[in-house]
Amino acid sequence: MADFGISAGQFVAVVWDKSSQAEALKDLVDKLQALTGSEGRVSVENINQLLQSAHKESSFDVILSGIIPGSTTLHTAEILAEMARILRPGGCLFLKEPIETAVVNNSKVKTASKLCSALTLSGLVEVKELQRESLSPKEIQSVQEHLDYHSDSLLSVQITGKKPNFEVGSSSQLKLSTAKKFSPSVKPAMDPAAAKLWTLSANDMEDESMDLIDSDELLDPEDLKKPDPASLRAPACGEGKNCSTCGLAEELEKEKSREQMSSQPKSACGNCYLGDAFRCASCPYLGMPAFKPGEQVLLSNSNLNDA
């Protein structure tokens, strides 16, 4: 009994099932009552009635389940969760259960690793295996009778788990620093000397001590010259090529068109090409049909003399 760490004044729960022997259960309860003393208490609960017992949370310091010699108790996830609920923070659960050492699909008997995982999922910590031993002939017979399970690879394992030192759903106030922190709405103070350095007023513009740079002085005479279109030609461009990637061909064509328009004959009024209805009385083109703008018209000597 010393292995369970039970001392005077503790509240202990003993969980049993139909496979537990009545005499062995009574003997265990008597020993536990002697350890807990008059200030403690030992409660006996059938595993099938545990969920309906409505124990208050954090009611027991220690829970013993399946510990009675000859017991073949199987613990479901719901039972383990209820045991974790009624344990006090820091309390311990000790259970004993038959396990399967071989991998069997859809087996009602769990393996040791699955049993430890079930305890962890129920909310317990520090889950560990204490003892593993072979089943006695009576225990094998009890498994076959009460669990209707037959296997040659069964063992008995004793596992313990501890409830964390806090209750599920409990809260605690965090200790936050009360130091004054920077607020985005509060602008930091600016150094007056720095503010004066970066502030320029109209009076400063007239101050002869202010050295202002003329932007035109930043340009060289070469920067003001219009570049020659031929100088814009890429090194890979050759004569006769009409490359459409850089746009130089279009620029050269526009320049050629402008030169042709400047070399075309022009009149003072600009309407001579429309015909006599739009020509002046002194127009040398009187009596000639309309012509296209830019078309060169040759006048005979008689026309010139008549004008």
pLDDT in tens, 193-206: 776 666 666 666 66
Binding residue numbers: 269, 272, 280, 283
The set of residues, in sequence order, having a beta carbon less than 8 Å from that of 33 and lying 6+ positions away, is 40, 42
Confidence band of 70 (pLDDT split at 50, 70, 90):
confident
Backbone angles phi, psi at 196, to 5 degrees: -65, -35
Using CA atoms, how far apart are residues 111 and 124, in angstroms rounded to an integer?
18
pTM: 0.54
Percent of the chain whose predicted confidence (pLDDT) is above 70: 72
Binding residue numbers for [4Fe-4S] cluster: 269, 272, 280, 283
Other CB atoms within a 10 A radius of the CB of residue 217 amount to: 7
Domains of the chain with CATH codes:
8-163 (3.40.50.150)
**Of the given ranges (14-18, 123-127, 155-159, 204-208), which has the lowest mean pLDDT?**
204-208
Token pair 């030192």: residue: 165
CA atoms within 13 A on the CB side of 130: 14
Confidence band of 307 (pLDDT split at 50, 70, 90):
very low
- CA proximity to 137, closest of 187, 69, 80: 69
